[in-house]
Amino acid sequence: MALGFAKKIISDIKPYDVKYVSILGGEPFLNLRVLLKIIREVKKNHKAAMVFTNGFWAGDLIKTKNIIKKLEAVGLDELRVSADGFHQEFVPFNNIVNILKTIKGVKLRLIIENTYLLNPGYKYLNLNKKQMKTINSFINSGPTRDIGRASDSLDDLLKSKKKKNKCNLVDWYGKLNLLTAVNIDYLGLVTVCDGICIGNMNNSSLTDILDAYETNPHLIIDTLLAKGPLGLYRLAVKYGYQGGMEKAKSDCNLCYKSRQFLVQKFSNLLAPINCYRENYEIN
């Protein structure tokens, strides 16, 4: 994300009681120089700053110490590092160890995000016992969500959950009718859940988008609020969806599979497209 656009976002959140600004990816550390400037801007506006990373940059201990010092110098409050079998297929676990060695004595909170810990179906994707013991005191884990482009390929591993026909956003988003957070990507898309878009900051200010959220109609959100994931599934069927409801593993999974079909009809409401398509191009 360009620094100027990040500054616009930070400026637009001033009227709101925002405690944290989270910077995530992709991978924020691909442009460390801009990342540090964004963190500095967040702190200048008296907000706490949180950054998510896979730790690819921590292969060398000296380099890791240098980067952590820079993060501390600009006032980063919290560093969240992904560590599980999925990420360690690409990033050596020793990178995580280097971060752990470096973080001691630094005024910077470290949290290890272990996505698969609580899902028995993902055991083969998780870390071994020795690795888990190494990160144990830093772990933050939660149940996986049956949503996103990988959900289809992981269907066989997912354990079916009893459907209650409720829309349960992840904790940080709050509830659909009472949001506590939004996500803004580098295209300016403002989303309230992965792939549910309520506006674009290239067309409107964040303030206008959030003010309009409570009053403007939004077919996807309105359907979820009134009729739940089952209502969204029926909407997809109305437009020709032929997937069986019984194949969905949970309410979240049913909602996602329905949206994955509906995106071809409502691309302005269901964005960014990469939430639904593996192969895509952005002009």
Question: What SS3 class is residue 181?
Answer: coil
pTM: 0.82
Amino acid symbol at 34: V
Question: Quick one: pLDDT at residue 90?
Answer: 87
- Flag the least confident range among 68-77, 106-115, 222-231: 106-115
**Averaging pLDDT over each range in 49-58, 160-169, 174-183, which range is the top one?**
49-58
CA 142, chain centre distance (Å)? 13
Q: What mean pLDDT is predicted for residues 189-209?
A: 92
Instruction: Examine residue 20 and state whether it is found in any structural domain, yes or no.
Output: yes
Domain ranges, residue 44: 3-144
Tell me the percentage of the chain whose pLDDT exceeds 90: 50
Q: What mean pLDDT is predicted for residues 263-275?
A: 93
Question: Quick one: pLDDT at residue 121?
Answer: 55
Number of domains in the chain: 1
Q: β-strands 189-193, 196-200: how paired?
A: antiparallel
Contact present, 38 and 69 (Cβ < 8 Å): no
Distance set, CA 142 to CA 56, 118, 254 (Å): 23, 6, 20
Instruction: Examine residue 8 and state whether it is found in any structural domain, yes or no.
Output: yes
- Under 8 Å CB-to-CB from 117, ≥6 apart: which residues? 84, 126, 132, 139, 141
The whole-angstrom separation of Cα 273 and Cα 279 is: 9
- Under 8 Å CB-to-CB from 101, ≥6 apart: which residues? 61, 64
Instruction: Examine residue 203 and state whether it is found in any structural domain, yes or no.
Output: no
Mean pLDDT (the chain) is: 86
Structure confidence by residue, pLDDT tens digits, 125-157: 678 889 989 998 998 765 566 666 666 666 666
Instruction: Examine residue 220 and state whether it is found in any structural domain, yes or no.
Output: no
- Under 8 Å CB-to-CB from 49, ≥6 apart: which residues? 20, 21, 23, 39, 42, 43, 75, 76, 77, 78
Instruction: Examine residue 34 and state whether it is found in any structural domain, yes or no.
Output: yes
Confidence of residue 241 (pLDDT cuts 50, 70, 90): very high
Instruction: Examine residue 172 and state whether it is found in any structural domain, yes or no.
Output: no
The whole-angstrom separation of Cα 205 and Cα 165 is: 33
Instruction: Examine residue 266 and state whether it is found in any structural domain, yes or no.
Output: no
Instruction: Examine residue 166 and state whether it is found in any structural domain, yes or no.
Output: no
Phi, psi angle pair for 199, to nearest 5°: 160, 175
In this structure, what CATH number is given to the domain that contains residue 68? 3.20.20.70
Task: Indicate the burial class of 193 (C-beta count within 10 angstroms; 0-12, 13-18, 19 or more).
Answer: buried
Confidence of residue 278 (pLDDT cuts 50, 70, 90): low
Structure confidence by residue, pLDDT tens digits, 79-130: 999 988 778 888 999 999 999 999 988 989 999 987 664 455 555 567 888 9
Question: Quick one: pLDDT at residue 216?
Answer: 92
